[in-house]
Every structure is written in C-alpha cells, then in structure tokens.
Structure 1
Amino acid sequence: MKKWILIIVTLLIIFSVTVYILIPRQATMCVTLKINANENGVTRLLQDTSHWRKWWNYGNTNNGHADTNWEDGFVIDNIHLSVTEKLYKGLKLLLTSGEKVYNSQISIIPSGIDSSYILWQVKIPTGNNPFLKIIRYRTALQLKPAMQQMLARFTAFAENKENVYGIQLHQQGYDDTYLIATKIILEKQPTPKDIYGIINLLTDFAKSKSVLVPNGHPIYNITHWNKDSIQLMVAIPISRPIESEGKFEYKQMVKGNFIVTEVNGGPWNIQHTYQTLMQYFTDYHRTAMAIPFFRLMNEAPTKTDTLQWVTQIYQPVF
C-alpha cells in the first residue's frame, strides 16, 4: 500500500515539475507569419485602424464573422480586440474572450528591404496550480486560429503595394524622346493656367516648324529655387529634332527607367500623390536619379471639374 502511495506521490511531483517547466506562471503564445512587403509600409498599414475593414474583407465574399467598429474594437469569432498603444514597429492589443482578458503585442520584424515578419505574442497568466495551468493554457490556445486567420488576411492585403500606398506603381521607360521646351521664373506656385499658357506657345511654335505631334502629351516640372523664385519648365513632344530658337529649346529625352503613377485631380491631389510616391522610394531604398516630371494626359481642363484631370508622374529611378 505504501508502495502505491509513494508511486502516486512521485508521479504527482513529476507531473507538477513538468507542468512548471513547460508552462511558466506567465506563459507566452506566439503566431509568426512572413510577409512579402516592406516593414515600414506594413507598420503604417497595421497601425491605421481605418484600413482594418478593408484588409479583413479583402478577397473574401464572406467576412468570417468579423465586425469592425472602432468605437468598440474589432471582433472575430467572439474574440474582441482593441488597440491600447501604437509602438515604433507594432501594436499593443487587448484580447477579450468571454471573461478572459489577455495582453498581446504585434511586432514587425524586418527581413530585407521587401519582406518582413509579423510576430504576435499573447501573454497567458496561468497561476501556480498545475491543473489550472493546463486548463488556462488550453483555453488560451483557442485564440490561435482567429489570430492566424487575421494575420493571413492582413498579409494578403499588405503584399499588394497598391493597397499599402493607395496608388498604382510600375516601372517603365519614356517614348517621347524629341521635345521642344521653354521655362519661366515665377514668384508663386504655378497654376494650371500658367502651364497651359506655355503649352499653347509651344504648340504654336511646333506648328510653325511642322513638327507638332497632334496627340502628344505635354510634360512639365517645377523647381523651387527659393521661396520667391520658382522655375516652371514645360515641354511638348515633336516628330523630329530641330534647332533651338530663342526661348524655345530642343531637348532629347533619355528613355531611361521611371517609376510611374497616375493621379486624377488638381494640384493638391498631384502633390499628395507625389509625396506618397516618395514614401515608396524611402521605404524600398530606391534612388531618385533626377527631378520628376508630370505628364498631362488630357486637354486643358475646366476649373470646376478637377476629377477629370489626369496626370502621370514620372520619377527617374536607378
């Protein structure tokens, strides 16, 4: 009899020690996922909770029993998530499942310029009782499928650069190599009227030399020398090389490589889109080889219909 009692006590001791070793008083559950996207873009997208509905529903006809109402938080499979703090490269969140509340943290870990890892850690208070440790740990493990599903949907969304930056980006050359250009110095930011006024002058000059390309798209760039001196240069494509004449200067464009995006709207939209394009350059360590130019894709627009304005931004890239 004593022998059986000794065996049971020994087994309980081994069981307790094993549980204490495998499940500490404060256990951590981790979910890790690799994502083919730059760490900075991933961080910005994750921290902007206004985008959470977009990536949760991305490519899914069924939202998977999730709801996004950021007055209350994000709910998935009866698990409530709320952001408590934005970190340098991640977030702190509270996960609530029934009466259980867990502290968690999402960290973005770089893995090269165009890839990163998402590490989601959940703190699980297990206490001292070995039987309760197992129960509490197994209960917390029920969070894992929802966490994995959430990260999988986020990853599918974030691996598309258009979703991260809000603009389409592609690399290409430039075909209109023969150009006639002119420039003026202004004391204030050029207006569409300034730009299209110069386009008309260039068009008349090209017609007089029989080199006008009827459906060619004008380009321009703006250089800020200082607050009171702004250079506006405008060019139009022509059919063949000609001699420069007076203020009209012949230029031959190098085809080169450009990162190109297109924007609908007026000057504010164009400037905002260009800043976004430069954010992409910063994130991916791309080198801007020269100043950008802006290609006007439609006729002179009306003042009241800026959404019909179409402009392509060409940024030379190494």
Structure 2
Amino acid sequence: MKKIFFIILTIIVIIAAAYILLPEKPVITQDLSIDTSDVIAGKFLTTESGWNKWWPGTKTGYRQYNFKGTKIGIDKMTNSSTYLKLKKDNLTFSGKISYFADAEGSVKFKWDAVDENNTQFLSRITNYFKTKDAEKLVGEILLTLKHFLEDERNAYGYRIYLNHAKDTVLLVSANTYPIYPSLQAIYNTIKTLQHQAGSQGAKQTNFPMLNVTQTDEHEYQVNVALPINKRIIPFQKTSLNNIPKGGNLLVADVRGGQNTVNNALVQMKIYMTDHRLVSPAMPFQSLVTDRLAQKDTSKWITKIYYPIL
C-alpha cells in the first residue's frame, strides 16, 4: 500500500513540477552579437534578396524557406525586423528577428517567437523538448548569418581589413592630365622617381603607389609615389611626404583591371560610411603587378590603402 502511495505521490510531484516550471506556451528566444554595421545588418536581414544570399537551407517559394526539415515563412519585413513563422513538428512559432546596435562595431540579432496554440497542460513536456530542438536550429541559423556577415567579401565584394603603415618616407610626383593617364605615362613617372631616389643612395622599400582623382570634366590630378628608405633632396616637380609609422590603414586586396580597382574604391568608401570611419588623406593604389609587363588585366594584383583615424 505504501509503495503505491509513494508512486502516486511521485507522479503528482512530477506533474506539479511540470506545471510550475515548464512554460505555458512554447517560446523561442535566441540572440547573437555579430561584428558588422547596422547598414549591412538591414541589407541582409530585412530584404528578400539579402536572405537568398545567406540562408543556409533551401528556398521553397516566395518568402518560404526550409532548413533541416523545418519550415520558415516570412510574413513581412520592416526597417529593423523580419516577422516570420517557424513550423516544426506540431508547433508553429510566430515571431520576429530584430537587430540593434550592440558594442562598438557590432550588431545584436535577436530571434523571439511563441506558439500561441499549444497551451494544453498535458503537452507541456513533449512541447518543451520540441521547443529546445527548434531553438537549437535557430541558433544554427543565426551562426550561419554571423559567419556570412563577418566576411566582408559577402557584403562588399572584397576582403577589407585593418593594417598599419610601415613605409614612412614617400617620394611623390604630382601632375595634372586632361584625360585619364595612360599606363606608359604612369610608369614613366615611376622610372623618374626611381632614378631620383637611386641617384641619392635611397632604396625603394615597397611597390609604387598611385592616386588618380578627377577634379573636373577635363582634368585629372595624378599622384605617383615611391616608398623609399630615407629622406633625400627632391628634384623639381617632386616632393617628400611622410606617413606616420603605425598609422591605421584600411586595406583591400584586388585582382583585376582598372574598372575592378575603381569599383573596389567605391566599395571601400561605402564600408567607411557604414562603419563611420573618417579618412584624413587620399587613398592610394599599391601597384603590386607591373601593369606594363602584364597585359592580361585579370592577373593584375593591386592593394588599395585608405588612411583612417
């Protein structure tokens, strides 16, 4: 008799504990901090074209997605949130993914959802474990988004990273042209700078540098620079510039011709705007490939440097 009593008591305690401790409604709550900007967060979270690029599963229809057998349907998108339904087993979670500024240089993504229909007491235990499985899937989805957004190539088309200035002395030639300068003109200037440096015992320490800025419809300001290992006396129409050693440089590695380089410059400006970075000086191209010798522009390698504060 006592044994039966204790069994019944144990069952009652388990039921009471389940009633008290388990949530009445199945709820999903997951958040993750991602190193990106709020502009990029919005671009890929609140647009269908953005979802199509990072979604880890398959797209099954208009705003309909699937991940490991779990169905996700988007109801609407706003400036800072995507409202959706997640269907797993007999549960349907309605909620949203939102983003908001977190620590400097990062954005927090939060996925909140609830199943309003499955509130029966007897299903709490089974729903609890199903909800945990759904939360695990949501965590995987957010982690995929994190890996995608933290690779600048996905957002801007190029790997963009921070480096520090090492070449501190530059021998510079500044000229204006009525049209975009030819490769021959640029490399003639480079040879002139190399001759000036060599005649005074200075050695070139890195690849030649170039900046071309269109100042009006028929004028291009062209700056060609040669990194050298010491200060010299500049000749006519040349000057010496100093870059503070250790200064911050935003860098992009580019493979391709001048149009590709120009596009990379535009994307770096967008990156700086998105991350609220300020440049105190003009950007420059480091001509890793000898463009006169390499006729195939798809093989040109260029490093773009943007000084930033």
TM-score clears 0.5: yes
Task: Label 1:251 to 1:154 Cα distance change in 2 as closer, same or farther (>3 A).
Answer: closer
What does residue range 1-318 of structure 1 map to in structure 2 within 5 Å? 23=24, 29-40=27-38, 41-46=40-45, 47=47, 48-52=50-54, 56=56, 67-69=57-59, 71=61, 73-97=64-88, 102-126=93-117, 141=131, 143-159=134-150, 165=156, 166-175=158-167, 177-207=168-198, 209-211=199-201, 213=203, 216-255=206-245, 256-301=247-292, 304-318=295-309
SS in structure 2 at match of 1:201: helix
Task: Label 1:38 to 1:132 Cα distance change in 2 as closer, same or farther (>3 A).
Answer: same
Asked if the contact 2:171–2:227 (Cα under 8 Å) also holds between the matched residues in 1, the reply is yes
| Whole-angstrom distance in 2 between the partners of 1:234 and 1:240 | 18
Task: Label 1:237 to 1:38 Cα distance change in 2 as closer, same or farther (>3 A).
Answer: closer
Cα RMSD over matched residues?
3.6
| Whole-angstrom distance in 1 between the partners of 2:233 and 2:37 | 50
Deviation of 1:172 after TM superposition, in Å, equals 0.9
| Whole-angstrom distance in 1 between the partners of 2:173 and 2:278 | 27
Residues 5-51 of structure 1: per-residue CA shift (max 9 Å, x gap): xxxxxxxxxx9xx99xx75xxx6834232314134233434452343
Residues 204-239 of structure 1: per-residue CA shift (max 9 Å, x gap): 4445x2546367411111233233322011112345
Residues 254-305 of structure 1: per-residue CA shift (max 9 Å, x gap): 3333222221112222222223333332333332122112111121256752
Task: Label 1:282 to 1:99 Cα distance change in 2 as closer, same or farther (>3 A).
Answer: same
TM-score (norm 1): 0.72
Give ranges in structure 1 of 5+ residues lacking alignment: 1-14, 57-66
Paired-residue identity, %: 20
Aligned residues: 282
Which of 192-201 and 281-290 deviates more? 192-201
Deviation of 1:193 after TM superposition, in Å, equals 4.4
Residues 83-135 of structure 1: per-residue CA shift (max 9 Å, x gap): 454432232334344686554321012113223321112253428x8569969
Asked if the contact 2:214–2:221 (Cα under 8 Å) also holds between the matched residues in 1, the reply is yes
Task: Label 1:37 to 1:126 Cα distance change in 2 as closer, same or farther (>3 A).
Answer: same
TM-score (norm 2): 0.73
Give ranges in structure 2 of 5+ residues lacking alignment: 1-15
Task: Label 1:236 to 1:159 Cα distance change in 2 as closer, same or farther (>3 A).
Answer: closer
